[in-house]
Structure 1
């Protein structure tokens, strides 16, 4: 495609010099003067408008410092002297790899060309073989002109002009048929001998002639029309004869960082394979193992490292059964089995020249897709992008391009990352100049070329659009999988983001604690002997900004520094079992920490040095404590709330003395005691909302919600979940029906974010405080998620469990 656009500019160079003669009395048609073997014929309705469109097109302007464009600019003074009143033709003949000749054809009118206004020209009249024409020289440029039957013709090649005068013009019947097709718009391109470059640099003959209406807008380039193949020579389009185009779904699979992709569809696999064998000149059938009988789409995905193959099944169970005897389970990734495939050359043998890959070593299934890769690493990357929805389908620029395309086609080609290579440009039979190699076209993230067979021809569509940097980043690319690592044993609990650099701390079922760097490297590990209760709290007991991690297991209170070393007098060991997660209080934000440990009914309080805090009055409850004690501040008053199994809610002062007396007994749920509108809030096991004022008065509200209801509040933001109904500060988000984890609130960069995970579908959602989902979500994850800062200034990092042993970390832009 890059060749096509570069050459489109070069087409304009044909306007070297024009000459004219007196208008003859006879008249002819413009088609009668098209030179033999012209590779491109442009039918132009508005010549001056076309020049302006090309000048303003953002894609073509990328070539403003290349040799073709500079050569054009030197000829620019001549363009204003050309004023055809009606349709004109611009023809290109390729003489050799580096030289092309150009012919312009238009009805002669008094306004067409005024050479008298051009200075420093040399005009000569030549006569050869009874044919008279003019040679006009301006500097180093020469053009040959004549008028025949009221038609003005000029060419940069004397030989081509002589051939036209001798009647050696394009007379092929298929060309005439294509030329006379009705057109719309101001520009139609008629293209000869189209090639497709899918498997090798030489390309393969695809069709004989193509006619497309071209639309050039400042930020887009679109062409639509038809293409014809002949039966006299093998042409690839003919393999789709008798096939009904099926829906193309390759955009569902293609990662956004891929270089390109291609797919072809069919409704009769045996017929397609037979016609491919005929195209290749083969007589012996290739055994296909029965795999392709239940599929409708086959394609390739080009990544930076290799080419992956895929098939889309209309019955995944049948396809899986057909594959069964050729596969062996090797590994799994994100609960997807990756299997070895014993017929790596099958696709090349069956579908060449559409497919030439010979290393389909591994296969895995994603819904109705079966994907084949050369390596397990490539398989993991494709699985991750599919599960994270970081695929082409989810980008804004694909959604725009898809509006130009049919949902079903015979052949669909995507070129991405501004890589408009021969796969597209070859079809237009145009050569891209070497001087333009290396031009950055990143503003054009996607070009699509589509063919839909209809009887003895095919509809063709080309679409390419410019996008700004924000659009190119698109919905999906705002979330990047930073790393995915496996522990020695299955993950225990939730991987947790720690600190401002986005490090991760996680424990496995062997009770080993891992501290992972921002890039996923294990900095240290530590055997704890038992699971961590609840989450890890961050503290700064030395007051130097180097935070430590505080947490409890069933028999110890730990404070670890970032090197995994014990701080001060920690750990504190306990004979009796700790029954609730550690509570950490910092009443005045002055790092005078209090660590509260619960052992059944007993309460133990320690300072940052691990010493017992004397004078704390509440040391023992009347029944077992059912939640970790919470520190709550209302106004300028501090409260410690401790709920008991017998229904008592203790609301204490800093020193452990009763501060508010609550007469009512509660059936506490797992939802922590919180504060809302300056009242304490208890969500009971019966899903009643109990509000307790500072004078101890209780008001009850029946919430009328489901058994899975959850309530979470963080200062000014509140989130509730009732089945699949998530409300954030009263704004409703209706999630897909499923099984959801509890919503969690995180304050990061002075903003509040809410995370929630659909456990069965393994999808992690993140919302802001306005109940808007963050771009790129949901993503893959199998547990509740943790949010924190990453190493960038305003970045967010998310950690979540992947496979049973896997930890996945994402960066959110």
Structure 2
């Protein structure tokens, strides 16, 4: 009778056991790769179904750069072979990127176990090649390790997943994530990005933690913070006409003040029309599309800064909210190279209510003035003003805009242009007037065609120019890697853009890498062009610009005084006979103010202006007032093309002539009683004009436009200066200095008030050392020459050696210094006794082991290529600096 309950109990136990056996066996949960990717991951690449697409990407310099960054080149190619085997494993590959220390990152590779057989076979064969494989265990999971060169390669497998990395603790992070409750992983960090649409049959997808990207980018830099843009992105990968394009969607937290995208939820995308003003020399541009300025204002920190807002309201009937409502779709910040490793910034503000903004700025300028008069400068038809308020653009538009210690501004049509330095603003306006801008450049318009036509946040990077500045900002580790092993790959990147455009409460995202794999110079560029003249060259070469083609051209003069005008291909375009030798230099002027350039020169006591076809421009030639003349300079005080001609006689008399060549009052002549070291030159300092004249014996004169002595001058340096001088501009007249170096080794700084600010002795290496200052060709900075009977050296501004030349000794050396931007710095030494030239790079490495036969040499940039042109006896040569 008691058997029934017993059987019933047994039946229930077997039933429950069977249920759990069935559930465990048939419903066994399979661990996915997504569940074991660590939470702190920066991004994950998921290979696509199109193996041919991935194969095409592997052929790009982009892939080569990845291999060189990750694999150890000292292990005879084993690391590279492993990487290739992993990538070839198929379309189920995952790769995650992780920051592993302050200045480094590494990758983790994931494969389904059945796809890792070839890689496992390769690893198993390593002991046969002398490698030792070791094992260790973490949380019951075995980790295999083998040392390849200086790197430790680690791999493991569990359930159906194979994982590997060149950083062992990243494998440990994967195991800890696997052993945890698996809720805190990278998949959770993506915040729903997985739901964004994906393109099938492409090279794959990239899942990005945007905050992690900021941390990753910081690993390359010496210091500095990278501002975050949003939360996460899902991007498809494709190759389009040789360019790598990533597009997809990004998310941002609405109201998150540390995410730039959060400020644009209520905005519509806007076109990049400000490209018409962006100079070609810009390193990068950040553009913001704003279609509702009032809503932007309510999100910016300024809307909560009542103290600052009240200070604006008190200036007059100004409503800040109404002011911002006049923003006309676009803001942009342009970044340019400055002295040293600094950047100069120019901010562009497009407005529908420009007069209202300008009135506000003018009242701010009046309220903050610290001097007797407001700073106002008229330049090239523009009116430049200053607001003496630190970081004004940042106060108005933070976090979209940062920096701007000073504020100089002007307007052009409906755009207000703000710069942190007045000279930066002048250069910006010059570029616009010369139409040397992205909007007028065929090349840049082609780049921009591959980007979104409308966006809310765009970062455009002019890679070929930005590379040089990047080198200065890199930390020691990445400076070594990116300047040598990866330089070739990086220089193939011509342009890059990162863009976000609002769409359905998210942001459509486009990342474009425009590659120029045909970086090899064309046959036309590599060919050394030679032009043989019938008579010896006595003047030049002078490099001039063709205003039609925007290309450079070359001018020389032969011993019969004939002027020859050559194109870069060596073709002589015209020849014109002069009556004497060219004095000092050939300049270009726009005499007719029609954006067409002519040559200006002085020969045989006559001023000549000659158009690009070799014809004289009326009323020239004009007879100069006296001779013989040592120097001639063209002066354009405010870039208005109302030219003045400044002539210096050998006896020390200065003549200033007007545009037509007539003598001006105060300069008939102005006597300085001795020969000059270098040509007298014009300088504009905070809107005031000065003429500097330095005598060879060390007497310094400074004159006003009318030829009057500036108070404190003439000034005696009490030593003979060597070489030339450099203008070191400050934020005020009193803090602006002229830098000079005396022959016996004193670096002297003097200001326009006639006061010697400092006198610093330079280090001597020999008793017969002679010093000279060598300014950069375009006035960016300067170097110092130190020469004795055994060697010639160039020193930087701090007195540190750049290069040394043991070939020349006490020969008469003429040193030249060129900085074309983007790290393209060159030094040229011309041994005038032996008529030999040497060219050095930025690091002081000799680029010309065989000296160049040269009486005169000039370096110049044409497009993106650097050339040098040389005259020697009867021959003119034009040669590219290929692969330097």
TM-score, normalised via structure 1 length:
0.52
1:201 aligns with 2:257: no
Q: How does 1:294-313 map to 2 (within 5 A)?
A: 294-296=326-328, 297-305=330-338, 306-313=344-351
State the shift of 1:377 in Å. 2.5
Partner of 1:95: 100
Q: How does 1:351-370 map to 2 (within 5 A)?
A: 351-370=397-416
1:192 aligns with 2:201: no
Describe the SS at the equivalent of 2:229.
strand
State the shift of 1:90 in Å. 0.7
Q: How does 1:639-678 map to 2 (within 5 A)?
A: none
Does the Cα contact within 8 Å between 1:146 and 1:152 map onto a contact in 2? yes
Partner of 1:178: 193
Distance 1:222 1:52 in 2: 15
Aligned CA distance change for structure 1 residues 530 and 39 (closer, same or farther; 3 Å): closer
1:141 aligns with 2:147: no
Distance 1:408 1:299 in 2: 14
Distance 1:41 1:397 in 2: 33
Partner of 2:81: 77
Distance 2:260 2:348 in 1: 21
Partner of 2:59: 56
Distance 2:349 2:409 in 1: 10
Q: Deviations over 1:697-745 (max 9, x none)?
A: xxxxxxxxxxxxxxxxxxxxxxxxxxxxxxxxxxxxxxxxxxxxxxxxx
Aligned CA distance change for structure 1 residues 407 and 67 (closer, same or farther; 3 Å): closer
Distance 2:137 2:176 in 1: 14
Describe the SS at the equivalent of 1:75.
helix
Point out the more displaced range, 91-100 or 365-374. Answer: 91-100
Does the Cα contact within 8 Å between 2:269 and 2:501 map onto a contact in 1? yes
Partner of 2:445: 399
State the shift of 1:450 in Å. 1.5
Aligned CA distance change for structure 1 residues 204 and 123 (closer, same or farther; 3 Å): same
Q: Which has the larger radius of gyration?
A: 1
Does the Cα contact within 8 Å between 1:247 and 1:408 map onto a contact in 2? yes
Distance 1:406 1:94 in 2: 30
State the shift of 1:75 in Å. 0.6
Aligned CA distance change for structure 1 residues 233 and 295 (closer, same or farther; 3 Å): closer
Partner of 1:154: 164
Distance 1:283 1:204 in 2: 25
Q: How does 1:265-344 map to 2 (within 5 A)?
A: 265-277=289-301, 286=309, 290=320, 291-296=323-328, 297-305=330-338, 306-326=344-364, 330-343=376-389
Describe the SS at the equivalent of 1:159.
helix
Aligned CA distance change for structure 1 residues 314 and 384 (closer, same or farther; 3 Å): same
Describe the SS at the equivalent of 2:385.
strand
Does the Cα contact within 8 Å between 2:54 and 2:203 map onto a contact in 1? no
Aligned CA distance change for structure 1 residues 460 and 496 (closer, same or farther; 3 Å): closer
Partner of 2:113: 108
Q: How does 1:179-578 map to 2 (within 5 A)?
A: 179-184=194-199, 185-194=202-211, 201-216=224-239, 219-230=242-253, 234=257, 235-277=259-301, 286=309, 290=320, 291-296=323-328, 297-305=330-338, 306-326=344-364, 330-343=376-389, 345-418=391-464, 433-438=478-483, 440=487, 441-467=490-516, 478=550, 497=599, 505=609, 522-523=646-647
**How large is the RMSD of aligned CA atoms in angstroms?**
5.1
From the two aligned structures, give the one with the greater helix fraction.
2
Distance 1:493 1:145 in 2: 69
Does the Cα contact within 8 Å between 1:67 and 1:435 map onto a contact in 2? no
Does the Cα contact within 8 Å between 2:283 and 2:466 map onto a contact in 1? no
Q: Deviations over 1:360-384 (max 9, x none)?
A: 4322222221111233322221112
Q: Deviations over 1:69-99 (max 9, x none)?
A: 7379441222454343433211123232245
Distance 1:431 1:410 in 2: 35
Describe the SS at the equivalent of 2:121.
helix
Partner of 1:31: 34
Partner of 1:787: none
Distance 1:396 1:335 in 2: 27
Q: Deviations over 1:167-221 (max 9, x none)?
A: 4451654516223433222122212143669999212232221222233568533
State the shift of 1:307 in Å. 1.3
Q: Deviations over 1:671-717 (max 9, x none)?
A: xxxxxxxxxxxxxxxxxxxxxxxxxxxxxxxxxxxxxxxxxxxxxxx
Aligned CA distance change for structure 1 residues 217 and 145 (closer, same or farther; 3 Å): farther
Describe the SS at the equivalent of 1:363.
strand
Aligned CA distance change for structure 1 residues 371 and 319 (closer, same or farther; 3 Å): same
State the shift of 1:312 in Å. 1.0
State the shift of 1:238 in Å. 1.1
Distance 2:510 2:608 in 1: 49
Describe the SS at the equivalent of 1:312.
strand
Q: Deviations over 1:578-617 (max 9, x none)?
A: xxxxxxxxxxxxxxxxxxxxxxxxxxxxxxxxxxxxxxxx
Q: How does 1:771-810 map to 2 (within 5 A)?
A: none
Describe the SS at the equivalent of 1:113.
helix
State the shift of 1:63 in Å. 7.7
Partner of 2:752: none
Partner of 1:692: none
Describe the SS at the equivalent of 1:251.
helix
Distance 2:659 2:120 in 1: 94
Does the Cα contact within 8 Å between 2:607 and 2:623 map onto a contact in 1? no
Q: Deviations over 1:530-580 (max 9, x none)?
A: 9799xxxxxxxxxxxxxxxxxxxxxxxxxxxxxxxxxxxxxxxxxxxxxxx
Distance 1:233 1:494 in 2: 52
State the shift of 1:62 in Å. 6.0
Which ranges in structure 1 are unaligned for 5 or more consecutive residues? Answer: 1-23, 534-774, 777-790, 796-813
Does the Cα contact within 8 Å between 1:255 and 1:390 map onto a contact in 2? yes
State the shift of 1:146 in Å. 0.8
State the shift of 1:39 in Å. 1.4
Distance 1:530 1:237 in 2: 54
Aligned CA distance change for structure 1 residues 492 and 371 (closer, same or farther; 3 Å): closer
Partner of 1:579: none
Does the Cα contact within 8 Å between 2:587 and 2:600 map onto a contact in 1? no
1:163 aligns with 2:195: no
Does the Cα contact within 8 Å between 2:90 and 2:115 map onto a contact in 1? no
Aligned CA distance change for structure 1 residues 357 and 137 (closer, same or farther; 3 Å): closer
Distance 1:528 1:399 in 2: 43
Describe the SS at the equivalent of 2:424.
helix
State the shift of 1:41 in Å. 0.7
Distance 1:125 1:116 in 2: 17
